[in-house]
């Protein structure tokens, strides 16, 4: 007898089953999920200001048993002067027995056909990219490019070799690790001369508060064609989530001032791997190089190996003077019936960043009890 597949919006009584299935499939746990993981899923997809009952997260049931999930968060946005909604897609998973029946494709198709004007996923694998494109979506090529500015190239090279080639025998590895800092001192001013120029003789930073983030976002993104509009409760929730994932490292959230006047801000993590990973950086085109410069100066003061991020907004021109390395990272996927939205995103004429997508949904690596 064929199994009955049913897809419906996520409800509160689904949370323990969703968390248990996620634990089983992605975290190597048993059939039970911790209360902390259940609460985290609730705060991401249900009891959250980025939940919209018209564009909900979805669960898939087979014969009344939960067998799949598609997480969705909603951001309020503007395209020029018209309000629109962004459905930011998060974890998508189904039980292994259903993959041959394209159950994941059914969940994704239902989500993409929702009431939102734009669907996006910025943590996608190559398999999800192929599925997304079969359903009519596309990859945002420019936003899928990640950049790295090496601050300690010799140490960075050693760490990359050590992580990818674990067969390095202990003695050579120890010798390379001792020599790497000396190599960095020799390369310092030749490798990245821009890093040794002050971002501005009167530039300084101060902690970025939720209130200042809101004010700066509204002011600095006003010229973008497509922009996320943050309500106060959404901004507070974003900052709560930024600090909720201790696995990411130390949060660096700074407002940048020049001669006492605010010119921009950045949000980043100093990761356990010794890199500074950028989540959001905002400034007007004329000031972006100063804001990026202050981020690099803080990373240097922390002895970070590198600063990494994603191409977005006004960043490309500010990156040009540095020896940045570019590569494709996790795929950024978009789908919209509105050509002007797709054009704005493809042209980087937007303030969209990692704080608006799956980078705030890191359930896999957080050490829940």
Query: Domain of 10: which CATH number?
Result: 3.40.630.30
Residue with tokens 């002895």: 303
* Max CA distance (Å), the chain: 75
Mapped onto helix, strand or coil, the DSSP state of residue 275 is strand
What pTM was computed for the model?
A: 0.90
Q: 94 and 10 share a domain?
A: yes
Residue-wise DSSP of 301-348: HTT-SEEEEE--TTHHHHHTTS--EEEE-SEEEEEES-HHHHHHHHTT
From the number of C-beta atoms within 10 Å of its C-beta (0-12, 13-18, 19+), residue 163 rates as exposed
Residues 6+ positions from 284 with CB-CB distance below 8 Å: 220, 223, 263, 264, 314
The residue-averaged pLDDT of 155-184 equals 58
Is the residue at 264 inside a domain? no
Instruction: Name the domain count of the chain.
Output: 2
Q: What percent of the chain has pLDDT over 70?
A: 86
Q: 98 and 27 share a domain?
A: yes
Q: 169 and 124 share a domain?
A: no
Q: 179 and 55 share a domain?
A: no
Is the residue at 65 inside a domain? yes
- Mean pLDDT, the chain, integer: 88
pLDDT at residue number 172: 54
pLDDT at residue number 171: 46
pLDDT, one tens digit per residue, over 89-108 is 999 999 888 776 688 899 99
- Whether the CB-CB separation of 361 and 155 falls below 8 Å is answered with no
- Domain extent, residue 66, equals 5-139
User: What's the residue count for the chain?
Assistant: 369
pLDDT, one tens digit per residue, over 133-164 is 999 999 999 999 999 999 987 677 766 666 65
At 342, is the pLDDT very low, low, confident or very high (cuts 50, 70, 90)? very high
- List for the chain the helix, strand, coil content (%; round to 5): 40, 30, 30
With 50 as the cut, is the pLDDT of residue 287 above it?
yes
Residue-wise DSSP of 148-179: EEESSHHHHHHHHHHHH-TT--HHHHHHHHHH
């Amino acid at each position: 007898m064929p199994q009955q597949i049913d897809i419906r919006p996520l409800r509160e009584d689904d949370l323990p089953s969703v968390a248990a299935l996620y634990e089983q499939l992605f975290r190597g746990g048993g059939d039970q999920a911790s209360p902390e993981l259940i609460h985290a899923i609730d705060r991401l997809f249900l009891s959250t200001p980025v939940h919209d009952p018209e564009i909900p997260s979805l669960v898939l049931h087979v014969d009344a048993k939960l067998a799949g999930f598609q997480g969705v968060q909603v951001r309020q946005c503007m395209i020029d002067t018209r309000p629109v909604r962004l459905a930011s897609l998060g974890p998508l998973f189904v039980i292994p027995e259903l993959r041959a029946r394209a159950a994941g494709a059914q969940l994704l198709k239902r989500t993409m056909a929702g009431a939102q004007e734009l669907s996006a996923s910025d943590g996608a694998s190559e398999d999800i990219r192929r599925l997304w494109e079969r359903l009519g979506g596309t990859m945002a090529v420019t936003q899928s490019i990640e950049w790295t500015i090496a601050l300690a190239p010799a140490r960075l090279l050693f760490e990359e070799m050590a992580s990818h080639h674990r067969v390095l025998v202990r003695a050579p590895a120890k010798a390379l690790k001792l020599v790497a800092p000396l190599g960095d001192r020799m390369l310092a001013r030749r490798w990245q001369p821009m890093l040794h120029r002050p971002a501005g003789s009167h530039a300084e930073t101060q902690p970025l508060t939720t209130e200042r983030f809101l004010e700066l976002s509204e002011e600095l993104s006003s010229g973008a064609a497509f922009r996320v509009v943050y309500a106060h409760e959404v901004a507070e929730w974003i900052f709560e989530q930024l600090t909720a994932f201790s696995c990411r490292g130390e949060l660096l959230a700074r407002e940048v001032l020049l001669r006492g006047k605010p010119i921009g801000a950045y949000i980043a993590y100093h990761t356990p791997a010794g890199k500074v990973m950028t989540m959001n950086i905002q400034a007007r085109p004329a000031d972006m190089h100063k804001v990026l410069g202050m981020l690099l100066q803080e990373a240097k003061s922390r002895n970070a190996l590198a600063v990494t991020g994603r191409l977005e907004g006004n960043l490309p021109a500010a990156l040009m003077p540095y020896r940045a390395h570019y590569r494709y990272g996790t795929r950024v996927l978009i789908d919209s019936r509105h050509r002007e939205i797709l054009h704005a995103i493809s042209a980087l004429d937007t303030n969209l960043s990692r704080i608006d997508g799956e980078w705030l949904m890191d359930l896999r690596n957080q050490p829940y009890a």
